């Protein structure tokens, strides 16, 4: 029984646990039927800071989100992990806030706070009682405009060790976790900003100093590369006055040019083998596809759900239900520059099927997909699940604010919810088969085998990439 609980936790980590392959969106903005709208006001300060305000007086709370349009994709080879590093440094004090006091000031006021970094953005967010909003705005403006005087070599070295320990715990010593890094290195060409993890390489952090970090901050963390989103029990006029007071005089940073989409492209299958401290072999197939909000993204998402989401999916019926694997899943995580179509299967300890046999079964499922049509009910179920996820994600003020911030940061339009309603509701069976034929059927992929140490003979095929 204990093994079963451990295994369930492992499965959750395999399918959803790594932010590197998670969906870009902080709140799933996909729906299929009824229009979804969030009332808001948007404006911009003279220094380029974009502000979004959303009134919701249902609870005496306010959620504040500051999203910087910078993630690991803005880094350079040899200088990776900087964006994630600043996720740590932004809580270590600023010119007018003592070390660790940002946490204390918010929690003592009855609030919660956190930050996150992915390939394309870094955000910092707090939920506090409504009467604490001014304090939060002051804190956020202070670290936006006055962080660097508090960034010392000593703090840098302390946080460097913290990040290295975090990487060891989350990546290097976590079963199966290094596969995301290995896939990125093989799927994308050298120098592509998605070819390394957000947390970066340990050797890069070892070779840089505090001045390198400061230069990165000056380049990317100006108000003109940020979106300040506030939602909840606010007085709009007073909130605007506070925003002008605390952010209005901050100087703009250097101009920021948008990055062009850069989906991966493969001319042949690439087989890689990773030895890890695991007991159960795993196979993962990754097809390159499109990029966020591409016209085919919605149909690819629906295809992924039909193939491998839930107990009615093809993968569950043919791999899990038959006892060949303990878990199988299909996902289509999308980021600003590229998306990836992932198929994962974890071999059952009680199965007599080898990893090569499971890989062959997965290939057969794909080969037979067009000849075994899914019905209208399957498509309807997928859309219903997408709708439910949308509604759930927008129930809280924080979910609404996150959605507005996400849409504005990447697409310059906070109110994309109804467009998403339309594009997902209009996906047809013909669209699903079309994108299957264009991006999956007979297409080249990265095929990763994760095997116990010393047992490379268990791999799907001999490695073609070392």
Query: Do the domain assignments include residue 21?
Result: no
For residue 21, pLDDT over 80 is answered with no
pLDDT tens sequence across 59-116: 999 999 999 999 999 999 999 999 999 999 999 999 999 988 999 999 999 999 999 9
Domain extent at residue 157: 41-247
Coil, strand, or helix at residue 346?
Answer: strand
How far is residue 127's CA from residue 284's CA, in Å, rounded to a whole number? 38
Residue with tokens 């927008």, as numbered in its chain = 394
Q: Taking a C-beta distance cutoff of 8 angstroms, is the pair 103, 48 a contact? A: no
**How far is C-alpha 400 from the chain's CA centre?**
17
Coil, strand, or helix at residue 339?
Answer: strand
Q: Are residues 288 and 355 in the same domain?
A: yes
Q: Are residues 292 and 368 in the same domain?
A: yes
Question: What's the structural domain count of the chain?
Answer: 2
How far is residue 136's CA from residue 72's CA, in Å, rounded to a whole number? 26
Domain boundary among 247, 270, 305: 247
For residue 268, pLDDT over 70 is answered with yes
- Identify the helix (H) or strand (E) that includes residue 124: strand 122-129
Query: Do the domain assignments include residue 30?
Result: no
Residue with tokens 């029990």, as numbered in its chain = 233
Q: Are residues 87 and 140 in the same domain?
A: yes
Give the confidence band of 35 by pLDDT, cuts at 50, 70, 90.
Answer: low
pLDDT of amino acid 271: 99
Sign of dihedral through CA atoms 153, 158, 163, 164? positive
Query: Do the domain assignments include residue 327?
Result: yes
Domain boundary among 247, 278, 294: 247
Q: Are residues 217 and 103 in the same domain?
A: yes
Query: Do the domain assignments include residue 84?
Result: yes
Residue with tokens 């690439």, as numbered in its chain = 270
Coil, strand, or helix at residue 449?
Answer: strand
Q: Are residues 223 and 266 in the same domain?
A: no
pLDDT tens sequence across 332-389: 999 999 999 999 999 999 888 999 999 999 999 999 999 988 989 999 999 888 877 8
Q: Are residues 419 and 314 in the same domain?
A: yes
Q: Are residues 381 and 275 in the same domain?
A: yes
Query: Do the domain assignments include residue 370?
Result: yes
Extended strands (E) in 258-410:
270-276, 282-288, 325-331, 340-347
Domain boundary among 247, 276, 311: 247
Four-point Cα dihedral 377, 380, 386, 392, nearest 10: -90
Q: Are residues 122 and 192 in the same domain?
A: yes
- In 3D space, the residue among 158, 155, 74 whose CA is nearest the CA of residue 122 turns out to be 74
Query: Do the domain assignments include residue 242?
Result: yes
Q: Are residues 412 and 295 in the same domain?
A: yes
Mean pLDDT, rounded, for 171-192: 97
Q: What is the CATH number of the domain that holds 232?
A: 3.30.830.10
Q: Are residues 394 and 306 in the same domain?
A: yes
Query: Do the domain assignments include residue 207?
Result: yes
pLDDT tens sequence across 391-432: 787 889 999 999 999 999 999 999 898 888 888 889 999 999
Q: Are residues 291 and 238 in the same domain?
A: no
- In 3D space, the residue among 6, 7, 13, 15 whose CA is nearest the CA of residue 315 turns out to be 15
Sign of dihedral through CA atoms 309, 458, 168, 78? negative
What are phi and psi for residue 387, nearest 5 degrees? -65, -45
Q: Are residues 57 and 148 in the same domain?
A: yes
Residues 383-412 as b or e (16 or more Cβ within 10 Å = b): beebbeebeebbebbbbbbbbbbbbbbbee
Query: Do the domain assignments include residue 257?
Result: no
Residues 102-129 as b or e (16 or more Cβ within 10 Å = b): beebbeeeebebebbbbbbbbbbbbbbe
What predicted TM-score, i.e. pTM, was given to this entire model?
0.91
Paired tokens of 322: 């038959």
pLDDT of amino acid 350: 86
């Amino acid at each position: 029984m204990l093994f079963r609980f451990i295994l369930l936790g492992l499965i959750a980590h395999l399918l959803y646990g790594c932010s590197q392959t998670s969906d870009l969106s902080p709140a799933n903005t996909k729906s299929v039927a009824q229009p979804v709208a969030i009332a808001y006001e948007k404006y911009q300060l003279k220094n380029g800071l974009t502000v979004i305000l959303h009134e919701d007086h249902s609870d005496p709370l306010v959620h504040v989100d500051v999203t910087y349009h910078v993630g690991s994709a803005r880094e350079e080879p040899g200088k990776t992990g900087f964006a994630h590093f600043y996720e740590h440094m932004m809580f270590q004090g600023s010119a007018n806030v003592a070390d660790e006091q940002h946490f204390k000031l918010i929690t003592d006021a009855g609030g919660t706070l956190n930050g996150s970094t992915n390939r394309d953005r870094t955000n910092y967010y707090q939920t506090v009682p409504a009467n604490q909003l001014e304090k939060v705005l002051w804190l956020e403006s202070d670290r936006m405009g006055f962080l660097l005087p508090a960034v010392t070599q000593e703090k840098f070295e302390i946080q460097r060790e913290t990040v290295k320990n975090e990487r060891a715990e989350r990546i290097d010593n976590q079963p199966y976790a290094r596969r995301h890094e290995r896939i990125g290195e093989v799927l994308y060409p050298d120098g592509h900003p998605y070819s390394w993890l957000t947390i970066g390489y340990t050797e890069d952090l070892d070779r840089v100093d505090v001045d390198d970090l400061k230069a990165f901050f000056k380049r990317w963390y100006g108000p003109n590369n940020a979106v300040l989103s506030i939602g909840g029990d606010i007085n709009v006029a007073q909130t605007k006055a506070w925003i002008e007071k605390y952010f209005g005089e901050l100087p703009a940073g250097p101009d920021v040019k948008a990055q062009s989409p850069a989906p991966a492209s493969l001319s042949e299958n690439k087989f890689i083998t990773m030895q890890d401290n695991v007991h159960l072999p795993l196979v993962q197939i990754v097809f390159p596809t499109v990029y966020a909000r591409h016209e085919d993204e919605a149909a690819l998402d629906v295809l992924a759900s039909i193939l491998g989401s839930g107990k009615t999916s093809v993968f569950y019926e043919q791999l899990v239900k038959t006892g060949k694997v303990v878990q199988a899943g299909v996902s289509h995580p999308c980021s600003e520059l590229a998306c990836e179509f992932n198929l994962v299967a974890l071999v059952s300890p009680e199965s007599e099927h080898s990893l090569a046999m499971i890989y062959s079964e997965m290939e057969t499922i794909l080969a037979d997909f067009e000849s075994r049509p899914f019905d209208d009910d399957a498509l309807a179920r997928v859309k219903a699940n997408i709708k439910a996820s949308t509604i759930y994600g927008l129930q809280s003020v924080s979910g609404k604010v996150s959605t507005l911030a996400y849409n504005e940061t990447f697409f310059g339009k906070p109110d994309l919810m109804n467009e998403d309603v339309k594009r997902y509701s209009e996906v047809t069976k013909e669209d699903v088969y079309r994108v299957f034929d264009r991006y999956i059927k007979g297409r080249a992929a990265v095929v990763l085998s994760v095997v116990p140490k010393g047992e490379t003979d268990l791999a799907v095929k001999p490695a073609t990439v070392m």
